[in-house]
Structure formats: C-alpha cells, structure tokens
Chain A
C-alpha cells in the first residue's frame, strides 16, 4: 500500500461496467466481491488504484474493478507492476495472478518482485489447475492429478506457493480462500503491509478441479481443519462442541511442529505456541505444515516489513542527484574537447 488520504467509496463504486465472464459458481466471484468490499474499508481511491494481471482466468480480474487496470501478458505482471510503481510510487498497485501465471511461466518474476520487495499486494489465486486452457495440471496440482495432459495422473511434485514466497524473501505471507469470511481481513493486512505482500488464495475451479480444497474449506468441520492465525494469540483450533480443542506446539527435541491436545483450556501447559508474525523460522514451518496430520494454516503467517524497493532505489537516486544540475548541453561538452575555428583546431 501507500500513504494516502482515505476516500469515501462504496462497494458499488468499485464495480466496472463490464460483464463478468467467469463460469457460474467460480470462486473468482467471491474473491472479486471480497476485494470490492475491502477497498472502501481501507479508504482506497479508484483513481489511484491500479490492478495489474497476467494471463489466465484470474487475470481477467482488472476488467471488473472500477479503477485503473492493465491486463498484460502471461506471467509478466510483476515486471509491469515494477515499472508502474517506480514511475509513480504514489499509485496503489494490486497484482492478480494464478498458480500457472505466477508460479509456472512467471515463477521467475514472482521470485524477483518478492526479493526486491516492491510495495504492492500480490494475490495469487491457487486452483491447482490450468482453467483458461481447459484443465491441464498446473505447478501446484497434487501428485496424480488426472488431466487432459496427464490422463493417468501427474507425476510433477507440486510447488507450495506460500513456501516459495517465503523462500524468495517475502516479508509478508498470508493465506485465505475464496468464500472465507476472513478473506477481507487478510486483504486488509496485506494492504497495510509496506512492501510486497503475498497472499495465496485457494480458489475453487468448479469446472476443472471442483472442490479440491473441500477437505479444509467446507463449512462443516472448518474449526478442526482450519488454523486461523492471529498475531499474539495461541495457535488453537477445533470445536469444543464436536471434539477436543487442539493446538500447535514446537517439538524442541526434533525441531518440528506437532499437534497437541489442550486440556481444560490450559494451552500453556500443552506448550501451544503464541503466533508471532515476525518469527521467520516458525513461518517456514507453518507454510510447510502438511494438511491432514495438521490443519491448514490460514491468515497472516508472516509479516515483518523492511524498506521497499522503490524507496531504496528512488531514495538512492535522489541522494546521488542532489546538487547536480540537469544541464544536457553542459554534459555533452564535458570531458576532453577541442574547438575548430575557421583557421583550424586548437585545444
């Protein structure tokens, strides 16, 4: 995000006149609404907001938001965003990408925008499939995913977006899913973060990879399958009405996380960890935590800002330029020159 004067808008103000063309029931609709609901709440200014995307279903997003929007080419949205932000750091830049766009063809750029720490929000819609090209397995598809290009199941091991982001040097990593009520809160946190804020949003592709996240995203049993992380609060999950309250503890002997039972609400006695969004080591463990034995870690996993790319780069330029005059004629005539007069040259 950038420092700005809050503007009064409503959700309606953020709806463009374009007909939304995702498949009926696509998770993208819910994400679009969550974003359009969040923008007024953070006081965003449509004239100062730019949505940049690559190619894919998710990348149609900018057309539907009443702000400035740039639908670019496959995988390269981070590079466009970098040029936009360096040209005008006042703009509030949102980058919308998918698992294919951001981690396959554009994996390189995703890595570099994160390590440089360009001040923007990166929303990676992860549906674990190529939707727009009709259902091929993607870099996040699970092992054995059958698809038109892997009829007997994919053998590529999947990439983990949040782990990739953290490994690339991201200073903000969060997770949410399309229909979650908490998504808006995650988006707000991402926007509040100064620097590249990476948000993996699990998104249901109802045509080519239907309900692939149902295990944890279904409302039924959500309390036991979702671990919503809150800074300063213990990592607890479970519904006391249907089962035990559990927590995440650190096994210090073997340096890994483990699920522990919390008896009588005494999470301290059970050794449950208090979430510290600035703890990078724990963040690494949270993004790698396998779903099944563990709940799905959601919310803000890591948030520890450092100076942003455009601050550093443009700040350095300002320092270097201070006191220098931009006199081109003078510059051209600099160095070792000679003058030719009618009578011939002289030094």
Chain B
C-alpha cells in the first residue's frame, strides 16, 4: 500500500473541533467507475443524516468514453451542511480522484488546503500518459497546496472482495463502494441504507454482487476507522441543518417534473398523455412517467420529436392533457406543431430540459440558452406562456402551474428547466397534493351558439371551449388555417387575421392577471441594486446576494418564475432599483426581454461554459457596481462606474 502524505496548508485543514457549516465533496473517476452511483448513494445517506444539500452531476456525453482519458471523466459534486444550501458549492473541500485523468481535470477547482484522495493503483504509466502527465503528480510535489492521501484503492478493493471469487474486472467494479465506505466514515454517515439498497438491487443469483459490494463498502469504512493515518483524514460530523418540520426525501428535477405533471393532470381531473422521444437530458421524464401509469398516464415513445408533440396534441384534441418533453434540438423540431397548438388553441405542456447549444452543442452540460427559442421561436405571431423552475424541488409546483395555465387558457405552455436541475438532487419537503387548488376542466357538452356549435367562441378571458370528439351534436372542424370568429371556419380575410391575431395575443397577455405579483427573494423593493435571475441560477445568486448583504451592500435578489407573460408588477419593481444585473447561463437573453418590455437598463452577466455559476462569480459582479465595502456596512454606490458586461467564462 502506497501512502503518500503531502505537506499541506495547516491552517485550512478541517479539525474536529472546528466543524465547518458546509462541506463540498467531489467524486471524480472514469465514466465506467460508477461515480454517479457513488455520488447518488452519498447524497442519500447525507440527506438521511438531516443535512441540507445540493448536488451537481457532471458527466461526459459518451456512454463509455475510452478508459482513462481526460474527456471520459465523470464527476459528482455534493455540497452539504447545517445551513441552508442552495448551490452545489463553488470549490470542493474534498476531491476523490479515481485515476490521473480525474485528478487532472478536477484538482484545479479544489480549495487551497483541500483534501485529495487518490487511487494510486490507477496511477500507472499508461494512465498517466493518457492524462498527459509526464511525471506522477502523486510523487513530484505538484499537489503541495492540497493535502494528499494516496493509496491503492484498487488493490484494497480486490483484497476485500476476494472471498467471493469474482474475476478481477468484476472485483474492480466494487471500487466505487469502497470509496463510498471511506467517505461515509469521513463524514460520519450511516452505512445501513446503502446496504439495504444493495441487497434490494442484487437478489437471487446476483446476491453475490450485493455481498461483494457490501464487503467493499465495509472495507472502505474500516480503512478510515482503523488505518493509522495521521493528518487530514479526520472524521467530520456535520450537524443537521435547521429545516421546517415535516417529511423529507431527496428529489431531482426530472422526478419533480414528472410528479408535478401527474399532480397537475389530477388537479385538472384529466388523464395525461405523454409523447416523448429519447434525448439527453430530457429522457428521464419519460422513464419516470412510464412507472406512473396507474395515475391515468399513457406514454408513447414516438418515432421522432415531431411525432411526439403531434401525438400529444392529438391526445389533447381528444380530451386528455397532452404533454411532451425534450431538449433544445428536439424543441426546435417541435416548433411547427407548437404553432398548430397555438392556432387551434389546444392545451399542451412542453418541457424543455435545456442543454448547451446550438445544434447538438453540449448534450450533458447545462445552459439557459433556449429562452429566445421559447419566447420568440416560432413562425408568425405565436405567443406562448413560458415558465421556469428555479431548483429540482421547485419543478413540482412549476409543472402544476404549467398544467393549470394550459387547461385554463387552452394554450400550449413551455416549462423551462435545464440539465443541471434535471440531474441535480436536493432535499424536498414532501408536499401534500391535496393542498393544491383544483382546476377541473369542463368540456363543452351542448351547442353554445344559436342552434350551432361555435368552437372558437371566446369567453371573457378570450378562451375558446374545449370540445371532445365523440360528443354528440358538436361535430366541427379545426386546423392550422386562419379562421373566422366564433365558427372557426376557414377565413383568410384581412379582418379575420387581424382579429384572431389580436385575440390570441390578448389571451396570452391576460394570463398575467392569473399569476402572483413578483416578490423579492431577498432584500427589498427599491434600492441601489437588484440581481434578477430565472431558472437554475437561483442558488448562486441567492448565496451571493446573501453574502453581499451581510457585508452591508444594498443589493436584492428577484427571481422570476413566469417568463411570459411577466408578472404585472415586474416593470415597476425593476424601475425601483438604480442598477439591474441579470446573470444568465447564455449571452443575455432574459436581459433582452426585460429591456424590451420595460425599457429598463438591465445589464447582463453571462456564462456559457456548460457549468453553473459559482457564488464568487456573482459576488464579483455585484462588487463592480459599488465603490467597495467594509465590514461596518457603510457602502457608497458608484453611480458613474460602468457596470460589468464581461462574461465570466474561464
């Protein structure tokens, strides 16, 4: 066993008597090393220990990228602690590196004085070459600014699972459980839930795999317990976070969207039809919904993205709640069909789990760059309501809201999440579906005109009736061609197109009356500065604003859920601040919408690296609006300073 202990920054080491409020751990390895599984299991046991947490799975697009390569590194980051956690953390305190490539790609992000745990067994000549190391970094002192613990995890794992007679390859597959065992020991986590999970997963003739994995888990744990390691490998116990009382579980965005859609359909008293086509990172929603068919869910894996949305529209036409889901490239393909749903005024929910673009872009990385596509991206004047989720758990409520708008206003609705939200997990206070207000749908059953059916007769909100085929006496035809008022018959006349274009716009604009006024997430209305966010930037913005307010800066956080139409009071609210900063993981799309709608001097803070914002990046941007600050809280705003418009890309 090779144990290499490097000299570290003494002051930055965690001590048992100096328990931090939060710790960021990053597991990194080859994409075949099971890092996502390890991270997921660690998340579970952390949640069970009562810590608040946020996670960030970061994996390559390739399913099995060539072993040991830099681009094949898969990582999972978790931030957990006894305070409210809203981001996956900026810089890891602990990095678990399963091979040289994982070390190379992840070490630069590690906090100075942080801890590296490396599997020295994988630091072979060949693997070092693949990771473009000329000398072994475990031996050349190049990691001196961190604490280093290197030992042959591969050999220790093989040794631990020896009694089960597995082949070398299968034995090495248990490495991730060994590592997990060590991590559980380090942070004083319970092993039992993991053991139960393994026993449930591997049954019958696969029981030997459960036994081997449990043995590896226990061996890793015992290694931490018994190894006579001095220095950094100290057991850390993070106190539970203060959360409101109630039942909790962890949930990721894809799960929460799925539950929310089902809840939404139930509240509308409708069966749900889901048309989908496999695409990263949206497929998880389809996978979740196929397991929920007892809730009146029909799922249809279509031949392509277009068929997926068209089938969903067909189901809505026939009286179910049609839902489709995709990511940017798939949403682009659905554009024409969205226009038809707008034109025929049928309810539909379209979930876009955004990823880096354009084109194929970054399939497994996160971005918020489909906002223009959602708000503006169709032919013709084609208004569509757009709402966004700020966190994995928020997806539940937002999905319900999307269903409500769709059926109450007979319109397609776009729900924006992103790759980060879809994959990341956070603790979730389990909601009571019965606590949500129902919005049951009433189909038209009788003729609504003078002895005739008028499929496009609008109510006071501009909404047409929903008529199910199969209803006696209400036969009618609808389609994508411009239509006459009330009857919906084909009508290309100037008056018809002007009237209907106006009516479609007025209907969507009117949705603003049914949504809550924009609140201030942190701070107050009016002041020197507001940081306006939407979607998954909530965490880093919130923490940055919290920290800057703690330093005495007059800065507030506004986080917008309803992107289109916008809340009625938003313009007034934004004008009550001297400066408006809009951080987005795109080149400034929401900023453009705000400028256009309110003539407000919104400034962008942009990032398009496929990684979420760090808190520090947003803090830095906020700081540029102020002359400076001191701990006493006395701050002068610098009204003459040009605000930052620079991208904070690495």
A residues bordering B, Cβ < 8 Å? Answer: 16, 18, 46-48, 50, 52, 62-63, 66-73, 76, 78-84, 86-88, 90-91, 108-109, 111-112, 313-314, 317, 320-321, 324-326, 328-329, 331-333, 335-342, 344-345, 347
Rounded to whole Å, the gap between the CB of A172 and the closest CB of chain B is 20
Pairwise interchain contact B243-A71, C-beta atoms closer than 8 A? no
Q: Which of A50, A66, A80, A111 has the most CB of B within 10 A?
A: A80
> 8 other contacts beyond A83-B318, A338-B249, with CB at 8 A cut-off?
A63-B479, A66-B475, A79-B307, A80-B317, A88-B469, A328-B262, A339-B247, A340-B243
Q: Does B481 contact A (CB under 8 A)?
A: yes
**B residues 490-547 touching A (CB-CB < 8 Å):** 490
> Per a CB cutoff under 8 Å, which of A18, A325, A338 touches B490?
A18
Q: What are the 5 tightest A-B residue pairs by CB atom distance, in nearest-first order?
A: A83-B314, A71-B479, A345-B50, A79-B310, A83-B311
Interface window among B28-36, B136-144, B175-183, B425-433:
B425-433
Rounded to whole Å, the gap between the CB of A156 and the closest CB of chain B is 23
For B479, give the chain A residue with the smallest CB separation: A71
**B residues 420-441 touching A (CB-CB < 8 Å):** 429-434
Q: A47-B471, A62-B477, A339-B247 are in contact. Are A86 and B262 (CB under 8 A)?
A: no
Interface window among B104-112, B155-163, B293-301:
B293-301
For A65, give the chain B residue with the smallest CB separation: B477
Chain B residues lying within 8 Å of A335, measured Cβ to Cβ, are 249
Q: Does B312 contact A (CB under 8 A)?
A: yes
Pairwise interchain contact A83-B248, C-beta atoms closer than 8 A? no
Pairwise interchain contact A87-B273, C-beta atoms closer than 8 A? yes
Pairwise interchain contact A83-B322, C-beta atoms closer than 8 A? yes
Chain B residues lying within 8 Å of A84, measured Cβ to Cβ, are 314-315, 317-318, 469
Contact with A along B201-243 (1 / 0, CB 8 A): 0000000000000000000000000000000000000001001
> Per a CB cutoff under 8 Å, which of B262, B300, B344, B469 touches A68?
B469
CA distance A62 to B488 in the complex (A): 14
Pairwise interchain contact A70-B307, C-beta atoms closer than 8 A? no
Q: Does B444 contact A (CB under 8 A)?
A: no
CA distance A71 to B489 in the complex (A): 12
Q: A73-B337, A338-B47 are in contact. Are A50 and B469 (CB under 8 A)?
A: yes
Rounded to whole Å, the gap between the CB of B535 and the closest CB of chain A is 23
Contact with A along B447-474 (1 / 0, CB 8 A): 0000000000000000000001111111
Q: Does B612 contact A (CB under 8 A)?
A: no
Pairwise interchain contact A336-B50, C-beta atoms closer than 8 A? no
18 contacts between A and B (CB under 8 A): A18-B490, A47-B475, A70-B314, A71-B480, A76-B306, A83-B300, A83-B311, A83-B317, A86-B311, A90-B470, A91-B469, A321-B293, A336-B44, A336-B249, A338-B48, A338-B247, A340-B248, A345-B49
**B residues 277-328 touching A (CB-CB < 8 Å):** 292-296, 298, 300, 302-304, 306-308, 310-320, 322
Q: Does B628 contact A (CB under 8 A)?
A: no
> Per a CB cutoff under 8 Å, which of B295, B300, B339, B479 touches A82?
B300
Q: Does B193 contact A (CB under 8 A)?
A: yes
Pairwise interchain contact B477-A69, C-beta atoms closer than 8 A? yes
CA distance A86 to B301 in the complex (A): 12
Pairwise interchain contact A71-B477, C-beta atoms closer than 8 A? yes
Chain B residues lying within 8 Å of A321, measured Cβ to Cβ, are 293-294
Pairwise interchain contact B319-A87, C-beta atoms closer than 8 A? yes
> Per a CB cutoff under 8 Å, which of A83, A91, A333 touches B247?
A333
CA distance A82 to B317 in the complex (A): 12
Contact with A along B314-350 (1 / 0, CB 8 A): 1111111010000000000000110110001000000
Pairwise interchain contact B314-A332, C-beta atoms closer than 8 A? no
Chain B residues lying within 8 Å of A78, measured Cβ to Cβ, are 307
For B243, give the chain A residue with the smallest CB separation: A340
CA distance A347 to B191 in the complex (A): 13
Chain A residues lying within 8 Å of B588, measured Cβ to Cβ, are none
Q: A48-B470, A71-B477, A333-B430 are in contact. Are A80 and B314 (CB under 8 A)?
A: yes
